[in-house]
Amino acid sequence: MDRSPFYTMDDFDFNGKRVYLRIDINSPINPITGEVVDDTRFIHYLRTINELKNSKVVIIAHQGRPGDSDFVSLRQHAGHLGRLLGRDVLFVDSLIGSAVETAIRNMKNGDIIMLENSRFYSEEILIKDDGTAQKNTFIVRNLSKLFDYFIIDAFPAIHRDQTTLTGFKDIKPNIAGRLMETEIKSIDRFMNSKSHPKLAIMGGAKIRDAIKVTGPFLEKGIVDNIIFGGVAANIFLWASGIDIGKRNMEFIEKQDKNYKKLLEECKSLLSRFSDRIYLPEDFMLNPLQTEIKTGEKVQDDQLLADIGFESIKTFSSIIEKAKNIFLNGPMGMYEINEYSLGTREIFNAVSQSPASKIVGGGHTINAINEFGLSDSMGYISTGGGALINYLSGEPIPVIDSLVYNRKKFGGN
Ligand code: 3PG
Ligand code: MG
């Protein structure tokens, strides 16, 4: 087998060592109670942490983004992880400083500490990696002296160039954790598969990500065809000159203040790849739950809430023929029962397909769980944006950092 381009946990003996462990347990938070409502990501880290049972493990993670209601302390994350592990996880409510240093220096083998949300510190988000800037942050200067090894296992955040992810690559070996390894192997299998047709199904509301990867997906032949649903489909329809109605346009404008640029990108993609992009032929409208054909008049107050029956039929027959399927994003407002049919039927079609399958994205996984399909959807990734960015074959900051680090510390 080829040598991994980055270090893995097989390359070092961590017994008795102090280990920096960057994970991604960024989770949905109930906006009223502030509680973590889904612990899927936590569960994926049990393997990496259990393998380090004779080390001193310090966990670093982030939660939410400044200004959002899910931007909360990691105190409850530490408690929850401890319960899942059946071990104590001591929470220290800062990321750097003397309390952190003392706690870490006093650790014994088998101890686990979790530090505070790394995004509480502006150096985490604001300082981009230009070769020296991250290295000079207080975060890196404070933490680098405390560890023997740096394990980076935050697969869902590999597309982020942030200090606790990429800032330590010049200090000591940076090692991919077990989640990272599993994810990359599974995604590479999809990318390297020679079985065609390869199909991507993209929906949901994250239009920027979906549009950004469409070019690379189709140009590089990573997939042969793409089906769009959800808001992603709406912006492509808008770009092609179709009336999608006032409320749907306003929704897109609110989603992304650079929507005009996105519209231009969609236009160019449609002109280059019109025969490989599939958009809904009909919709279910909210309110009223009536159906219209794409292009028919949408009233000012109406939302395109789900794909219609013809679209379900066409998309399902494309899915039936596919040999490899990548699924990311619901077809409509699946959270509301009356508008969940499109998503349900498309996800059912994927689940019944014998193709090799890979799925990701918070809403997608939530819908899969709700529909009771989690055992038949193929490989379920912990990544959303991370997954589609990795699949697009474009440079990925955390992967690049790990590869650079192995070259630096391990020779060629
Ligand atoms: C995610 O959930 O997408 C990752 O944790 C990265 O978070 P971000 O999208 O807020 O950067
Ligand atoms: Mg994200």
pLDDT in tens, 260-278: 999 999 999 999 999 999 9
Q: Can you give the residue ranges of every domain in the chain?
A: 9-179+395-409, 193-381
Q: Which atom of ligand 1 is nearest to the CA of 362?
A: 2
Q: From CA 384, how far away is CA 289, in angstroms rounded?
A: 30
Neighbour tally for 234: CB within 10 Å: 25
Phi and psi at residue 408, to the nearest 5°:
-70, -45
What is the topology classification, in CATH, of domain 193-381?
A: Rossmann fold (3.40.50)
Can you say whether the dihedral through the CA atoms of 407, 112, 386, 262 is positive or negative? negative
Q: Compute, in angstroms, the gap from residue 109 CA to the centroid of ligand 2.
A: 34
- CB-CB contact of 74 with 63 (8 Å): yes
State how far Cα 210 lies from the chain centre. Answer: 12
208 labelled ligand-binding: no
Please work out whether the CB of residue 124 comes within 6 Å of at least one atom of ligand 1.
Answer: no
* Mean pLDDT of the region 315-340: 96
Element (H, E) at 278: strand 277-278
Q: Compute, in angstroms, the gap from residue 11 CA to the centroid of ligand 1.
A: 28
Q: From CA 52, how far away is CA 57, in angstroms rounded?
A: 7
Q: Which atom of ligand 1 is nearest to the CA of 62?
A: 5
83 labelled ligand-binding: no
* Mean pLDDT of the region 113-124: 98
Does residue 28 surpass a pLDDT of 70? yes
pTM of the predicted model, to two decimals?
Answer: 0.91
Residue 236: pLDDT band (50, 70, 90) is: very high
Please work out whether the CB of residue 167 comes within 6 Å of at least one atom of ligand 1.
Answer: no
Question: In whole angstroms, how far apart are CA 8 and each of 211, 398, 405?
Answer: 33, 14, 12
The reply to whether 9-179+395-409 and 193-381 are identical in fold is yes
25 labelled ligand-binding: yes
Q: Which atom of ligand 1 is nearest to the CA of 385?
A: 3
Best residue among 62, 63, 77 to mutate for probing ligand 1, ranked by most atoms within 8 Å of CB: 62
Best residue among 24, 25, 26, 180 to mutate for probing ligand 1, ranked by most atoms within 8 Å of CB: 26
335 labelled ligand-binding: yes
Does residue 289 surpass a pLDDT of 90? no
Question: Which of 71, 53, 47, 64 is CA-nearest to residue 14?
Answer: 53
196 labelled ligand-binding: no
> Taking ligand 2, which is a single-atom ion, which protein residues have CB atoms under 5 Å away?
385
Residue 306: pLDDT band (50, 70, 90) is: very high
Element (H, E) at 57: strand 56-60
Does residue 411 surpass a pLDDT of 70? no
Residue 1: pLDDT band (50, 70, 90) is: very low
Does residue 116 surpass a pLDDT of 80? yes
Q: Which two tokens stand for residue 108?
A: 């014994």
pLDDT of residue 288: 78
Please work out whether the CB of residue 77 comes within 6 Å of at least one atom of ligand 1.
Answer: no
119 labelled ligand-binding: yes
The overall average pLDDT reported for the chain is: 95
Please work out whether the CB of residue 157 comes within 6 Å of at least one atom of ligand 1.
Answer: yes
362 labelled ligand-binding: yes
Q: Which atom of ligand 1 is nearest to the CA of 154?
A: 5
Q: Compute, in angstroms, the gap from residue 63 CA to the centroid of ligand 1.
A: 8
Question: In whole angstroms, how far apart are CA 10 and each of 13, 27, 282, 330, 393?
Answer: 8, 29, 52, 38, 26
Could you report the per-residue pLDDT of 344-359, keeping only the tens digit for each?
999 999 999 999 999 9
Tell whether domain 9-179+395-409 is in CATH 3.40.50.1260.
Answer: yes
Does residue 123 surpass a pLDDT of 90? yes
| Neighbouring residues of 46: CB distance < 8 A, sequence distance ≥ 6 | 84, 85
Residue 309: pLDDT band (50, 70, 90) is: very high
Q: Compute, in angstroms, the gap from residue 204 CA to the centroid of ligand 2.
A: 13
